[in-house]
Chain A
Amino acid sequence: MLELRDLNVHYDMIHAIKGISLTVEKGEIVTLIGANGAGKTTTLRTIAGLKKPTSGSVWLNGQDITETTPRQRVQMGAAMVPEGRHVFSEMTVQENLELGAYLRRDKEGIAQDMEMVCGYFPILKSRRKQTAGTLSGGEQQMLAMARALMSRPEILFLDEPSMGLSPLLVSEIFAIIKTINNAGTTILLVEQNAGMALSVANRAYVMETGSIVLSGTGAELMESDEIRKAYLGGS
């Protein structure tokens, strides 16, 4: 469903992504893990169209989308929950959700999805009229996820959804990621919290300083000594 072919991305002189390739099949949860600064966010921003690669290509559903705008990618069924949530802080929860459905015209479908996301995150329903900036970190994460779902994406990119949340909230968020996936949405999950990510993922890629250094099924990587040492704090 999603494929990166030999992608290179630069920030001026910094070679942030060094020729990575990866695939995500329909229905999967794939996770991209790695330490801070490895290039995970840059990868997702390139997939979403916010950053232009210097070379290589991004493919969605068999189409080369490297030259398309973020808007076209949303239209093609891709949605992203960016690192740090990026909710529209001065707008209400309701308005944030409406903006998630910005490109849709089917009023009824939008209303249905509004119900659906409020089912996933009941707290949002009671906060509808509040501005997003007044929500707690966890609530903002939920809003950012709900907002992305409002475009009815086929594939959802999540950038560190667990960042800054209590362990309890992290479990809750991950359970919902599972639910969203079971409902048919393919997921590419970027995480530093490798343990959590590997436990929900079908497959995983490990990134180090701009390159993919390891890949395999979630279970395989969980067993791998390197991973346990580097990312799971085990020995």
Chain B
Amino acid sequence: MEVFLQQLVNGVSLGSIYALVALGYTMVYGIIKLINFAHCDIYMIGAYIGYYCMTYFGLSFFPSLLVAMTGCMVLGVLIEKIAYKPLRNAARISLLITAIGMSLFLEYGTMFLVSAKVRTYPAMTGFMAKTFHIGNVLVTMQQIVILATTIALMIALQYIVKYTRAGKAMRAVSLDKDAAQLMGIDVNTTISITFAIGSALAGAAGVLVGVYYNTINPLMGVTPGLKAFVAAVFGGIGLIPGAMVGGYFIGIVEVLVSGYGNSMYRDAVVFAILILILILKPAGLLGKNVGEKV
């Protein structure tokens, strides 16, 4: 039981990171029907921004988190404006290929700038280094900070999407672009806002992962990005609550499989789940099984 609880605690931390990344995939898909392959690299760049904030500028965790979120926000908006917007009316496949190209550009561009060398986040000290024992279950302050940050960001996101003008515009554009335009909503601005929010969340995830797993490298986004994408599909692509549920589910399953079974099977299990959900409930756990809306 204690082992299980310990795995659960670890799984929740990993799940938080998947969930934050999955939100960006799902929001962008919801609004422009694009699987933004470059999203996982925005997460990687967030990790690097956090790393440089902490090492070169000596900032502590929270300021670094904010800088990384802001930097990724700007990066995400620029990527959309420069690479995706000109293809708004092009075939979906062109957009998808552009996204793959953008992903490679960010990965190898980062390698060019900072080299492929693995970097190590500075060890957390003071408050961030605290640990707690609840029975025999070890909970670190980092895990608590990861969960608390993720929950705070999710609440903020839900608030924005549900109650603000920008959030209503985002929902309107993802439901029906023409009708949204007829309301006077500026579709381009709304798409930019969506990229900004999704990218900021990925940036936050990047810093959290750096703090939690310590090492970062230019290709660190690839596998977690894929899993976060699986999480988004699992929950129902385009659905914000789906990405949250999916992220935690995938994170917990992955840790449990490595803990009880064999960590070699962990990725296989994640993708087996993806295949199962695509067969049993193609629209995802929280999705309604209706075909593409016409």
Listed in ascending order, the chain A residues whose CB lies under 8 Å from chain B are: 48-50, 69-71, 74-75, 79-80, 82, 86-91, 95, 98-100, 102-103, 147-148, 151
Partner among B165, B176, B181 whose Cβ is within 8 Å of the Cβ of A71: B181
Contacts of B186 in A (CB 8 A): 69, 71
Closest chain B residue, CB of each to CB of A100? B183
Q: Of the listed stretches B51-59, B167-175, B243-251, name the one at the interface; the rest are far from the partner chain.
A: B167-175
Inter-chain CA distance A85–B18, complex, in Å, is 38
In the complex, whether B2 has a CB less than 8 A from a CB of chain A is no
Q: By the criterion CB–CB under 8 Å, are A88 and B181 in contact?
A: no
Q: By the criterion CB–CB under 8 Å, are A75 and B184 in contact?
A: yes
A3 to chain B, nearest CB (A): 21
Question: Contact size class for B?
Answer: 10 to 19
B192 to chain A, nearest CB (A): 15
Inter-chain CA distance A86–B165, complex, in Å, is 20
Partner among A74, A90, A95 whose Cβ is within 8 Å of the Cβ of B182: A74
Q: By the criterion CB–CB under 8 Å, are B175 and A89 in contact?
A: yes
In the complex, whether B185 has a CB less than 8 A from a CB of chain A is yes
Known interface pairs A50-B178, A75-B184, A87-B179. Does A102 touch B165 (Cβ–Cβ under 8 Å)? yes
Listed in ascending order, the chain B residues whose CB lies under 8 Å from chain A are: 165, 168-169, 171-172, 175-176, 178-186
Partner among B165, B171, B184 whose Cβ is within 8 Å of the Cβ of A88: B171
Partner among B169, B171, B179, B185 whose Cβ is within 8 Å of the Cβ of A82: B179
Q: By the criterion CB–CB under 8 Å, are B179 and A102 in contact?
A: no
B188 to chain A, nearest CB (A): 10
Q: By the criterion CB–CB under 8 Å, are A79 and B182 in contact?
A: yes
Q: By the criterion CB–CB under 8 Å, are B171 and A90 in contact?
A: yes
Q: By the criterion CB–CB under 8 Å, are A102 and B175 in contact?
A: no
Q: By the criterion CB–CB under 8 Å, are A151 and B184 in contact?
A: yes
Contacts of B175 in A (CB 8 A): 88-91
A217 to chain B, nearest CB (A): 30
Q: By the criterion CB–CB under 8 Å, are A98 and B168 in contact?
A: yes
Inter-chain CA distance A102–B189, complex, in Å, is 14
Known interface pairs A88-B172, A90-B175, A95-B168. Does A102 touch B184 (Cβ–Cβ under 8 Å)? yes
Contacts of A99 in B (CB 8 A): 168, 172, 180, 183, 185
A61 to chain B, nearest CB (A): 17
Inter-chain CA distance A86–B175, complex, in Å, is 9
Inter-chain CA distance A154–B40, complex, in Å, is 48
A88 to chain B, nearest CB (A): 5
B180 to chain A, nearest CB (A): 8
A106 to chain B, nearest CB (A): 14
Inter-chain CA distance A89–B290, complex, in Å, is 13
13 inter-chain pairs at a CB distance below 8 angstroms, sorted by A residue, are A50-B181, A69-B186, A70-B181, A74-B182, A82-B178, A86-B176, A87-B179, A88-B172, A90-B171, A90-B175, A99-B180, A99-B185, A151-B184
- 8 residue pairs, one from A and one from B, having the closest CB atoms: A74-B184, A86-B179, A103-B184, A70-B181, A71-B184, A102-B183, A99-B183, A88-B175
